Amino acid sequence: MRMMLRGVFLTSTSPGETAEFYSRVAGLPLEQVGTPGSYVYWRVDRNGIQLAIHEAAAFAAYAHPPLAGSNLTHLYFNIDDREGFLARLKELSIEPFALDDVVVTVEDPDGRKVMFGTA
């Protein structure tokens, strides 16, 4: 039996806003999928792995309400230029949540701590 990671699904009370955040900050080309007025979500597929952002209430009963302060989900993006990334955040008027020599952590619109690091 073959098993592989297929995706990471995030839930949000404002999935469009969260998708815009990941598009602007992480440069992810998220596309809206579905039929407006019905079920809509945002996704990007890279190398067979999908990141998707779903409306929490519509996704599953156990996903609503989202727990903003949860530390159960950590997303980590690899960056090659820490100073360039910090400049990008400044242009977007986003203050880092935490900094160290390797990782810049920001908070997404749902309160998730998202790490961008050079390691």
Q: pLDDT at residue 119 above 90?
A: no
pLDDT in tens, 45-80: 999 899 999 999 988 888 888 777 776 777 899 999
Q: pTM here?
A: 0.86
pLDDT in tens, 79-93: 999 999 999 999 999
Amino acid identity of residue 111, one-letter, is: G
Q: Rounded to an integer, what distance in angstroms lies between the CA atom of residue 54 and that of residue 43?
A: 9
Weakest-pLDDT range from 3-12, 34-43, 91-100, 104-113: 3-12
Give residue 45's Cα distance to chain centre: 13
3 — pLDDT class (breaks 50, 70, 90)? low
